[in-house]
Structure 1
């Protein structure tokens, strides 16, 4: 009896264990299915972190079979099956009674199926790790799992064995295979390659290697990549040694989700995202904790492929390591919605027989632009840039000539692997077909025709001079009017020509009044004027812009306005707000800028929730790079004179952009925040302003130092103590804390910074260095 009772208890415990595991695993029974378009049709992990189901693709009646994070706002996809063949509404994913797992269209046509599924499938389940499994009767045995067939992402606990591959998407919203691939080569490195998207042929050499290969001893080479549960990515060698790819301290996997994605721009990035909102508000989206390569523009090498930005383009890396792409002059994007699509000529270059080159083409210089792997069909040493310019200009085959290291390199189309390299002196000379270029429409015409025209004019004048006095008077008046209007027209043409060189659009005051609905929506107000939100329409699109009405220009305002607007227009940097155009009409002086959707750095830093530590650092680096460009890389040095968080704007990706640079020269000496001739804002003004000392770029360094301390501490430079209503000066408080070795008092409630105190201390020292009273002791921005 006792034995039977014991057996019953053991049996009961066994069934309870099975039931508990089944509930924990959220078992999906054989015969289950999901239907595309049924919003309630999905399978969820037991924790609720992940969902397996159909995701509706934007602007299409098509669906992606996918796994995504479900508890965060953007529902980030981490695995997908049918990227190249989106499923129409009504398609069905089914786990059949015999354990097969497949996706079919409403008409029964097969779209996708799980390959290499072992026999004996008993159920399916979406695990709390994000791994979707087809399992056997034993819970530890999987017949198939999504972790073994990743798309572009791996997750903590996931393993990538030799031969394992991640493929990038085509674009952010196109889930077809793109041109980048990550793979672990046998007894070798973890590598990143570009591939031929049509043939899936891998181009060598790789643009990133993990450094885990030993050609002399295979036991010292990598054979497995592990993304462990603590959030670190490691390569395991056959001898048991691990190489940690993720360096430094990262956000805890207890409080943050992690993923590593081969992004569509070719960068392998590990991201983190907070698991819970802060007081009901999500602080931020995914942020980068590690990525490779650090500079994809220069890492992509070799003769094959088109580079990070496509053919006939220029690649530059922003503060977050992302490639930004621009077409060379005379070219436009193949796909206007995809900056990585490459560029085509707007007008095909043709050499017409009997025409002179100056009638058909013009040359435009691009500083520091290079295509080191595009085939050169001719090169020669030179002492003079003009020789290279002339050689390309008069050569029908030449599209671009590159002046570099004392050599002229002539190139044909297509141009691949274009990059902006500010560390190498040189420039590209681009030959551009004139928009209206044809020999018959130019002022410079055939010499014989010119002589005939001159003879005809002489004949007409001779006849007229022989006529009546009244007739001659009318003739002279007519000729005078023609000459006058011709002069006015040439003046307009010259003005338009100079504006085209600046790549600026000239707006009328009425256009901007209509664009802003009568200057209705004010989005900012500063020492230089008021900023309004507007919408500018073109024949093909609409763009949101920021329109700044300048106030109280200096006495020589009109001349200075045009000069400075031209200077600002010639600046091009990721961390500077781009000037799109201006209005110079009567007493109205307005500037039109790109619109920054995320407001100012001040609102980001001093809002309700504390911004992420890594994002703050990236912003600080971005501002420094922008200032370095203004101080050292512009043809004419630009000193900002009013660096502060209110003048740093954030775009839709929270990239920092300096605004109002160059505008100080447009203003009279009384147009400041103070009652003196000092330029700048209280709390950010360098001491030399008060001593009538010569102003140098070091005034911006001082202001940057103050702002850097604000970024590090998330505190305003000048705050009021609530108890005694006295001003607290942040720079003084920081210095006192640094001197007393109690820097943690500055960031009491900031766990991220407290876990990274060494870097915090180092950056505080940089901030203090920048605010030295003696300007000669401050570093320059490049340092």
Structure 2
């Protein structure tokens, strides 16, 4: 018996080892567990229980380096890796290397020379040897836990706590309030698409309980995101978005983090810190052939923190994304010529400390405020804020900030961006400059008005003169009392106008309230004079002799000219002037197609101390703002509504109510608003006679601003000054909502 036992013992041991070997291979190939003493090598892998993820050795592209990682299994695209163990220590020979779960319960990766190059690094002093199991969970998380327990409290290590570039559902961004910075869950890009070593970009969370997240580049802020820029943030507490995710935010004494879950199990979702420096959200639907990018930030250059450097302002939709603030110039002009703006701008003339009388302020409208070195006070008065800045020699700018209090800046201004109309982050910044620099800008005016005609009205035989204004050129000179007083309207005597028009001998045309005559002032400036007649007569449309089809360039020029003229009336005259009857018949064109505003018979003039004025309902239906129809007090925004209607007619080449046989939707403003709001083909709104021959960006801007102009609520309409900036491309504009009055027409 003893001999038989001695003979069988080696055979029993041999069978035990054979079974152990076969069991190890089976576990590595077919299950999601690894046990102490087992390892992976070569093309051996383990999979998650749902078959969605796989762990093993991989390489990227034509690279000869190998890594251990986790990737999506059985997708019809190239391997998408979501986690890498040895991203700093590539392997040359996967067959001679191995990933082993040691008897002490740690995962260790050995290279072909059996040298450890990576380990899971955790303290196993309180754990019995041989009790740790490695499991690849259904969510893609590789965990080490005590025995077969599925309790989270028994997990001693997990890959979700040591992420690379991919944020999976269930994983966190943030971490423990007590942990060191390096132990928090931040996501670091690959160096390149074929090199998983840590790149320059990282996605992380500020641990101050504000929910502010950020993207860093080489440890410095790269993307302007966070709590104070809500429009850049897609993360909010327990919010379900339309792209299949439920985002959750947790902040307490122990930890602060975001995580998310997927609302549709048939859809794969992942966030990625891409090598480009963008955070991307990608989804994969059953039956898909590619990953779809449904969200990414920063999407535009202007969202990159400090993209234009100090004292540089970013304009995403300008020809050049960066430009120096007025009074500044590039520090290194050669770099700006190559598109490198990081060194920013410097003042052309330095401020003179303790000489406040030589300083003034220039307003920079509708911008994202600088973020660096901002000092806040509890004073909410803009006047007091200005005084405080003047008294402080180091103060270079001030405004009322996002919190409603005075904000001042004492260092170079960083991260300024010109914003689009409708963006609620837009603020006016008051930049300190030398008065000597400011004076010329007042003469030029920001609107760069080319010329405009203004008229004054009286009863029965009182005539209206339309004065053509030229930027920084002629001033009115006359032998009679026709000189302008500062920036108010010029008043003409009847005799002056009769002389200028040669006794009203050359008739240009006729409008609803009188005839228009050509005239010439003593300084040879051409004018148009309208003689009023009694109201109530049939409206006769004034048409130019030329019925020529105007190309888009000319139409855009006309639209710009009218906008500048209205902006001048609203914002630059000493007394604000509301025209009250903007329509095509009241826009005259000279030989060069420069637009001239005419027919001021209904115009309202009121002082700057008043915000609105009462008027009876006069004007032309189809162009009247809702407040004019209802009899409410009006503001310059009433002209803005009329301009929007006019602009739609310029774009379409048709009357807004004009019927066409090939269209069921006869009301063009409704068609335009729906098209723009739904992201339709805006060029389809263009006059078909132009055959699509137009600057697409200009057409889109014009259509959007027109639909903002015709909003029901006047506070939702832009000012004419903003309209000018939008049409010029200096300021971009968001997609407008469909006005309520158009929605009621649609529903009828």
Question: TM-score w.r.t. structure 1 length?
Answer: 0.38
Higher CA-based Rg:
2
